[in-house]
Amino acid sequence: MSRLLAVYRAKFRTELAIQLAYRGALAIWLIGIVLEPIVSLVVWTTVANGQGGAVGGFTAGEFAAYFTSLLIVNQLTFTWHFWFFEWRIREGFFSPLLLRPVHPIHNDVAENLTFKLLTGTIVVPVAIFLVVAFGATFQTQPWQIAAFVVALGLAMPLRFLAEWTLGAAAFWITRTGAINQAYSVVMLFLSGFLAPLALFPPAIQAVAAVLPFRWMVAFPVEVALGRLAPDQVLAGFAAQLAWIAGLVLVMRVVWAAGTRRYSAVGA
C-alpha cells in the first residue's frame, strides 16, 4: 500500500509538470467544459420562466443549482482515457506501461486526478460565479452535504472503472470511435446531462435507475440539491457500491483477456 502511494506521489509530480507545460490546451478544455452547462442552464431557465416559474418540479433557480452542481460533479468524475485506448494500442504505447510493476490503471488514475486538480482551480470559481449570476437556489440540509461528498466519492471510481473498461474494447476492435460515441450518447440521456432525469418520460426514468449511468452523475447532483430522502440516498449508495464491485470484476476479466491478445503493434 505504501509502495503504491509512493508510485502515485512520483506520478503526480511528473504529471503536474507535463500538464502545466500545455496551459493553452488546458484553457481550451475549460471553455468546452464550462460552456456546455451554461447552454443547458439557459435553455431550461427559459423554459421554466416561460411556464410561470417552474417546470417538472424545478424552478429557474433550481435549474441553475442543478446545472452548476452538474458542472462540479462532471468535472470530478469525467475521464478521457477511453478515447485514447485505440491510439495507445495501435501505436504500441501500452508496451512500456505493461512493463511497469504496477497495474496501468494507476497511471491513468494519477493522470486523471492531476488534471482535475489543475482544472478545478478554475472550474470551482466559475461554478460559484454561475451560482451567483443565475441565482441558484439549494434546499440542501447539512446531512445532505455529507451525503453528497460520499456519493461523489463513489461516483468517481464508478465512472472511471466503467469508462476504462469500455476503453479496453480496443484490444479487440481496431476502431473504437463509434462505440465510444454511442456510449457518450447514452450517457448524455441517462446520466442527467441533457436535463434532470425527473423531466424524462417514466419509462426512461425506470431504465436509468437500473443502469449505472445515473449513479455516476445524476445521483450526486440530486443529493447536492437536497431532493432525495434519507432512504433514497442509502439505496443510491448501495447501487453505486454494487456497480463498483461488479465493474471491478469485469475490468479484471477484460484486462486479463485483453493483455493476452495484445501484440504490441509498433514495437
- Interface residues toward another protein, by CB under 8 A: 24-25, 28, 31-32, 35-36, 38-39, 42-44, 46-47, 50-51, 55-56, 175, 177-178, 181-182, 185, 188-189, 194-195, 199-201
Minimum CB distance to another protein, residue 263 (Å) = 22
Q: How many CB atoms are closer than 10 A to CB 30?
A: 16
Shorter beta-carbon distance to another protein: residue 117 or 182: 182
Minimum CB distance to another protein, residue 175 (Å) = 7
Minimum CB distance to another protein, residue 157 (Å) = 27
d(CA 122, CA 34): 10
Minimum CB distance to another protein, residue 182 (Å) = 7
Shorter beta-carbon distance to another protein: residue 24 or 101: 24
- For CA atoms 98, 101, 102, 103, give the dihedral sign: positive
Shorter beta-carbon distance to another protein: residue 132 or 241: 132
Q: How far apart are the first and last CA of the chain?
A: 32
Shorter beta-carbon distance to another protein: residue 62 or 160: 62
Grid cell for residue 171: 484490444
d(CA 80, CA 160): 9
Which residues is 54 bridged to in the sheet?
59
The CA-based dihedral angle spanning residues 199, 203, 204, 208, taken in that order and rounded to the nearest 10 degrees: 110
Short-list 41, 71, 38, CA closest to 59: 41
Shorter beta-carbon distance to another protein: residue 28 or 206: 28
DSSP assignment letter at 228: S
Minimum CB distance to another protein, residue 203 (Å) = 13
